[in-house]
Amino acid sequence: MIDGILIVDKEKRMTSHDVVNIVRRKFGIKKVGHAGTLDPNATGVLVLLLGKATKLSASFLNQDKEYIATMKLGEKTDSGDCEGEVISRKTVVLTDREIEKTIGDFGGELEQVPPMMSAKRVKGKRLYKMARRGICIERDPVKVFVKDIKVLELSLPLVVFSVICSKGTYIRQLASDIGDELGCGAHLTDLQRTRSGSFKLEQAVSLAAIKNMTREDLYESTIRI
């Protein structure tokens, strides 16, 4: 048995559950879970819990997350990211200072409506499954906390920014809300989780490395509990 924590650098176009299945099947570990879903188009830190470590999932889920995100101003999509249909286009006529100030104003406690394209359950059903069937339902806003948010790079219409936030914060919704506040609309084009709790990207192993690992290699790469 291997009981512990494996930090994975998730690739794009894979669900968090895809990564869980790869590890479960390759190494024959019955109990494998994760501590916080990453969207298929997001990359970065995915905390996998192996064996007895799956019992600790609740404590890891409650920890802060850190991201580097890129959004495109001037285009709003129905999904909040680049996978959705563009529902509005506007010319971006904003100064760097206006953008930086507006983004900075999104720090602190926020009320956020969960996007339809999310794994959140409402009445037992995943929102993204309903969205894929063309169903859109009313969602109650939830309180989240953004500890820090700042612009890293401005190359309009693209804006790169960093976020440190509480669990349950949807970065795609944050980008969409920022776009609405700026009056031009926006959607998320890229997202990388650089930290989950105390686990950082520098500790993560790639999926390519995992696919070439032996059980001994996995044991050495796992943080034991």
Active site residues: 39
Q: Which amino acid is at 53?
A: A
- The span from the CA of 120 to the CA of 110, in Å, is 18
Q: Which of 56, 53, 90, 95 is nearest to 180 (CA)?
A: 90
Task: Count Cα atoms within 13 angstroms, Cβ side, for 101.
Answer: 6
Other beta carbons less than 10 A from residue 208's beta carbon? 9
Other beta carbons less than 10 A from residue 183's beta carbon? 13
Q: Which of 50, 47, 58 is nearest to 3 (CA)?
A: 50
Distance set, CA 98 to CA 33, 81, 104, 138, 188 (Å): 42, 23, 10, 32, 19
Which tokens hold the place of 5? 């924590």
Angle (CA) 72-74-79 rounded to 5° is: 65
The 8-class DSSP code of residue 57 comes to H
